[in-house]
Amino acid sequence: MESAATSPTKLGLRERKKQQTRDTIARVAIELFAERGYDEATLAEIAEAADVSPRTIFAYFDSKEEILFCDAPAQLEELRHALAQRPEGSTTIDALRGLLSSIPPPDELAMLRKRIILASPALNLKLRARVAELEPVLAESFAKDLGSDPDDVRAVLIAASATAAFKAVHDRLEAESVGETISHEDAMAIVDEVLEFLRGGLDRLRAQG
């Protein structure tokens, strides 16, 4: 899930400059990771390429991993917001459909990030760990759909199934999109099929009470 950047019109001058510096560091770092390799590129080289000091990098990021996955916190917050603000009578599936349908095709920087992660088994594991952070958020929302408590095992299992399903689809689409053999529209059609499958299971559980 690619995250939309915060609109600069909503930020003051100082905040915009900070955001621009953060974006520059992330862009330069990802380009260096793609060029030299994630493990080989150093924070000192990133600082030099971004025309900032190493201290400045640490004011925004704690590590190379945090730079590579810099969109993850915003994506998690987007999910929380979409689930919390869903209209009365709608379900978690409806909220997910709305959120995912708003995602634009990946840009060049996003494609570079995909290639970097795909090239490293260790980074793939890091990605899985970050995807797993979605599970408790989804479980709480599915519990509301079922009219039960957040620790309801049914909600937990649906959330785990949803996360696993999206990760499987993500892995397939990542591999295919790097080879440019699948369009963004086709990718979203596959995601829509997954959502319909999940909706069927959720509807059955809700009907059972």
pLDDT in tens, 185-209: 777 788 888 888 888 888 888 888 6
For residues 120 and 24, state if they share a domain.
Answer: no
CA atoms of 93 and 12, how far apart (whole Å)? 36
DSSP letter string, the chain: -PPPPPPGGGS-HHHHHHHHHHHHHHHHHHHHHHHH-TTT--HHHHHHHHTS-HHHHHHH-SSHHHHHTTTHHHHHHHHHHHHHTPPTT--HHHHHHHHHHTPPPP-HHHHHHHHHHHT-HHHHHHHHHHHHTHHHHHHHHHHHHHTS-TT-HHHHHHHHHHHHHHHHHHHHHHHHHHTT-S-HHHHHHHHHHHHHHHHHHHHHHHHH-
**How confident is residue 48, by pLDDT bands cut at 50, 70 and 90?**
very high
For residues 24 and 82, state if they share a domain.
Answer: no
Show the tokens assigned to 164: 């696993």
pLDDT at residue 176 is higher than 80: no
pLDDT in tens, 51-82: 999 999 999 999 999 999 999 999 899 999 99
For residues 63 and 84, state if they share a domain.
Answer: no
Domain closes at, from 24, 48, 67: 67
Cβ atoms within 10 Å of 153's Cβ, excluding its own: 9
Instruction: Identify the pLDDT of residue 146.
Output: 93
Q: Higher confidence at residue 179 or residue 49?
A: 49
Specify whether the CB–CB gap between 67 and 29 falls below 8 A. yes
Overall average pLDDT of the 96-125 stretch: 88
Overall average pLDDT of the 75-95 stretch: 92
pLDDT in tens, 116-160: 998 899 999 999 899 889 999 999 999 999 999 878 999 999 999
Angle between helices 153-178 and 108-118 (to 10 degrees): 100
Instruction: Identify the pLDDT of residue 193.
Output: 87
For residues 123 and 84, state if they share a domain.
Answer: yes
Distances (CA, A) of 86 to 121, 145, 197: 36, 11, 20
Lowest mean pLDDT among 46-60, 81-95, 98-112, 118-132: 98-112
**How confident is residue 6, by pLDDT bands cut at 50, 70 and 90?**
very low
Tell me if 80 is assigned to some domain: yes
If you average pLDDT over every residue of the chain, what do you get?
A: 86
Instruction: Identify the pLDDT of residue 173.
Output: 62
Specify whether the CB–CB gap between 190 and 169 falls below 8 A. yes
For 39, the domain range is 8-67
CATH number, domain containing residue 134: 1.10.357.10
CA dihedral 185, 6, 54, 116 (to 10 degrees): -10
Tell me if 1 is assigned to some domain: no
Instruction: Identify the pLDDT of residue 3.
Output: 45
Specify whether the CB–CB gap between 146 and 152 falls below 8 A. yes
For residues 60 and 75, state if they share a domain.
Answer: no
DSSP letter string, 161-176: HHHHHHHHHHHHHHHH
For residues 85 and 126, state if they share a domain.
Answer: yes
Tell me if 147 is assigned to some domain: yes
Tell me if 167 is assigned to some domain: yes
- CB-based burial label for 187 (10 Å; 0-12, 13-18, 19+): buried
Tell me if 150 is assigned to some domain: yes
CATH number, domain containing residue 43: 1.10.10.60
Domain count of the chain? 2
pTM: 0.79
